[in-house]
Amino acid sequence: MPPDEDCRRCRLGDGRNNIVLPCGHLDSYVVLVGEAPGAKEDLEGVPFVGRAGKILNGLMAEAGLDRGKVMITNTVKCRPPGNRRPKAEEMAACRPFLQEELKGKRFILALGLSAAEDLLGKKMVMKEVCNRPVQADLGHGNVTIVVTYHPSACIYRPAAKDVLRNALKMAASYL
């Protein structure tokens, strides 16, 4: 059940160009979840096609993970103004769509703390949770969730590339 074209469940719908729906292999057991679309994603209607997407694509290739064999989505489907983090009420508004997308998944790679906190419902510290698989029931039975760096973190923290690459290797092992 994707959102309607004219979705206004939250205020993010007021300034968007496109609702950004999942891409890739929608029936894959593996899903990568980011926090929100950026400017390029908003224009194209596809997740991770901007600067962070280029980084993600390169690291996926290095990790042996084919983008077409996983589902890629975000916690919210519309771009927050100024690329700010989505607010709790915005994530809650999109939560039914994300819940539906996650049905039947076995492995979720949460790209960044915002996505992880929305998925797991609690605040976290990256150094304490990064690349450590946890089991969680998101409403459809247990699933393995790994929290890792968002690709944009690799721009400012070069060491994040190795961490993200290793997380993507974990994701590839679930295919």
- For 89-145, the pLDDT digits (tens) are 999 999 999 999 999 999 999 999 999 999 999 999 999 999 999 999 998 889 999
Q: Which two tokens stand for residue 137?
A: 């029931």
Q: What is the pLDDT of residue 160?
A: 96
CATH match for 11-173 among 3.40.50.2300, 3.40.640.10, 3.30.200.20, 3.40.470.10: 3.40.470.10
Does residue 1 surpass a pLDDT of 80?
Answer: no
Task: Label each residue of the chain as H, E or C.
Answer: CCCCCCCCCCHHHHCCCCCCCCEECCCCCEEEEECCCCHHHHHHCCCCCCHHHHHHHHHHHHHCCCHHHCEEEECCCCCCHHHCCCCHHHHHHHHHHHHHHHCCCCEEEEECHHHHHHHHCCCCCHHHHECCCEEEECCCCEEEEEEECCCCHHHHCCHHHHHHHHHHHHHHHCC
Q: Which two tokens stand for residue 165?
A: 């690459």
Does residue 45 surpass a pLDDT of 80?
Answer: yes
